[in-house]
Amino acid sequence: MLRNEVISFCVVANVEHIPIRRGRPPSARSREAALATTVELLAEGGYGRLTTAAVAKRAGVSTATLYRHWESKDALVTDAVSGLVAEIRIPDHGDVRRDLLSLMHDAVRLYTTSVAAPALRGVTTEMAHNAELRDTIRERFLAARRTALREVLERGSARGELVGAIDCELALDLLGGPLFYRFLITGGPIDEALAEGVVDVVMARWAAPSEGGGRRRSK
């Protein structure tokens, strides 16, 4: 067995086909091929059926090459999953609701992407009894999304769009929880309507009062 933020949660590359850039050095190409193959195999059979031998065979690399890059299967899997949200662009439309919607729409795409979604589902199941994988996924996959959302919330508070006493941890749970719940438990639709509904709940709870005494209206 080999030994990396989701599971964030935000800008997600289209992983239906992950191109391997041929102009890169052989070691970089083999690493990219292994990561792309890991995502594919996670989507096809889940964490339990994934082996380093299968990754090496499909990626066209040796198992020794895998061990040079990753010391364990968990390290390989975590690296591959974290790469699904490698760069989270934090929007700044000058309006907290629009910024939150941008991040939530990205999360919708993550959970409904044909390859990323089943890959994440398989890893999440394994997290329940694999403490090392759980901790690293939280740090490198989930934390990235929460950091992005937190920055948007704090910026909204600083601009006076949200109340200063906002409970950020609760707001982050409210923003992420419904999507994750439908993704893993109910199988309900994860769509733009859900994203907007969740954002509206957060705004209804923490939007700063307008001068007229009502809640401040977003742009």
pLDDT at 216: 54
Dist. CA 47–CA 118, nearest whole Å: 10
State the pLDDT at residue 211.
61
According to the model, what pLDDT value does residue 217 have? 53
Q: In 3D, which of 30, 132, 105 has the Cα closest to residue 123?
A: 132
How far lies 103's CA from each of 33, 88, 110, in Å? Answer: 28, 9, 11
Tokens of 86: 């490698």
The whole-number pLDDT of residue 139 equals 80
Angle, alpha carbons 20-22-23 (nearest 5°): 130
- Is 26 exposed, middle or buried (CB count within 10 Å of its CB: 0-12, 13-18, 19+)? exposed
Residue type, 158: A
- Alpha carbon distance, N-terminus to C-terminus of the chain: 52
pTM of the model: 0.75
pLDDT of the chain along its 219 residues, tens only? 443 333 333 333 343 444 444 455 558 899 999 999 999 999 898 899 999 999 999 999 999 999 999 999 988 998 888 777 656 789 999 999 999 999 999 999 888 876 778 888 888 888 888 888 888 778 877 888 899 999 999 999 999 999 988 999 999 999 999 999 999 899 999 999 999 999 999 999 999 987 654 555 555
pLDDT of 92: 94
